[in-house]
């Protein structure tokens, strides 16, 4: 079945460090891929998305490229800030109605 | 302001006592869904609805019911809650362009504890 696997956390970085959170997926066909972010006490918010192979999603300095050959959608940011501390979820939607989420990766950024 | 509103935010109940968690959206979205979030498992889909009177099971529907009598509302019903349904629940909605990658709008969550 369809699924998403992302690296376990927590990930702890110093401010201005480079961030990578790995995400790989299993799906038939051509799913849309997403990164959602969850701040403490809140619901998830869309961070970025890509709907076809080789698309790059980007937002707020975060980027992820849809790699069909490696079935990956890794999240990157060149210089993290304390305000980026949150839980990040990779997700895919293979059809019209279902979404599959990874288990989430908690990011802690220290000043 | 566009939003998805869930109530209550926190709920403590006992095994077997029927409860309803409400969800309402003001964006005229056709698609609505419910998820539960558990540590180490991420979000798992319980039920979804493509429009009024159209609902279908997600990956973990056992022990839950839903209804979609109006476009804006999508309540989650636990007829006989059990402790394994203790979880953080999220409602989400989207336009009918879910297939093309439109984003989900999430509510703030309902923390349910079943004793």
Nearest chain A residue to B36 by CA: give it.
A101
Q: pLDDT tens-digit profile of A8-33?
A: 889 999 999 999 999 999 998 889 99
Contact at CB, B107 and A97, closer than 8 angstroms: no
The reply to whether A95 touches chain B by the CB within 8 Å rule is: yes
Q: Closest by alpha carbon to B50, among A92, A95, A31, A97?
A: A97
Tell me the shortest Cα–Cα distance from B8 to chain A, in angstroms. 14
Contact at CB, B50 and A93, closer than 8 angstroms: no
Task: Please count the residues of chain A.
Answer: 111
Q: pLDDT tens-digit profile of B52-106?
A: 999 999 999 999 999 999 999 999 999 999 999 999 999 999 987 666 667 889 9
Contact at CB, A99 and B42, closer than 8 angstroms: no
In the prediction, which pLDDT does B98 show?
Answer: 64
Q: pLDDT tens-digit profile of A35-49?
A: 999 998 888 999 999
Q: How far apart are CA A5 and CA A27, in angstroms?
A: 12
> CB under 8 Å to B94, separation ≥6 — which residues?
B29, B31, B32, B102, B103, B104, B105
């Amino acid at each position: 079945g369809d699924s998403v696997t992302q690296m376990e956390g927590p990930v702890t970085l110093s401010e201005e460090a480079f961030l990578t959170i790995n995400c790989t997926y299993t799906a038939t066909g051509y799913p849309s891929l997403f990164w959602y972010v969850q701040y403490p006490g809140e619901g998830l918010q869309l961070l970025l998305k890509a709907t076809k192979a080789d698309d790059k999603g980007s937002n707020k300095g975060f980027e992820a490229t849809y790699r069909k050959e490696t079935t990956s959608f890794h999240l990157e940011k060149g210089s993290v800030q304390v305000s980026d501390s949150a839980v990040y979820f990779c997700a895919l939607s293979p059809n019209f109605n279902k979404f599959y989420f990874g288990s989430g990766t908690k990011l802690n950024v220290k000043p | 302001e566009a939003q998805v509103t869930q109530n209550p935010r926190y709920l403590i109940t006992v095994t077997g006592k029927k409860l309803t968690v409400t969800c309402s959206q003001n964006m005229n979205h056709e698609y609505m869904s419910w998820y539960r979030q558990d540590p180490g498992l991420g979000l798992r889909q319980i039920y979804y609805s493509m429009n009024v009177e159209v609902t279908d099971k997600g990956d973990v529907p056992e022990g839950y019911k839903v209804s979609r009598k109006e476009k804006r509302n999508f309540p989650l019903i636990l007829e006989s809650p059990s402790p394994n349904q203790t979880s953080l629940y999220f409602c989400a909605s989207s336009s009918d362009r879910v297939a093309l990658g439109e984003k989900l709008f999430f509510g703030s969550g309902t923390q349910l504890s079943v004793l």
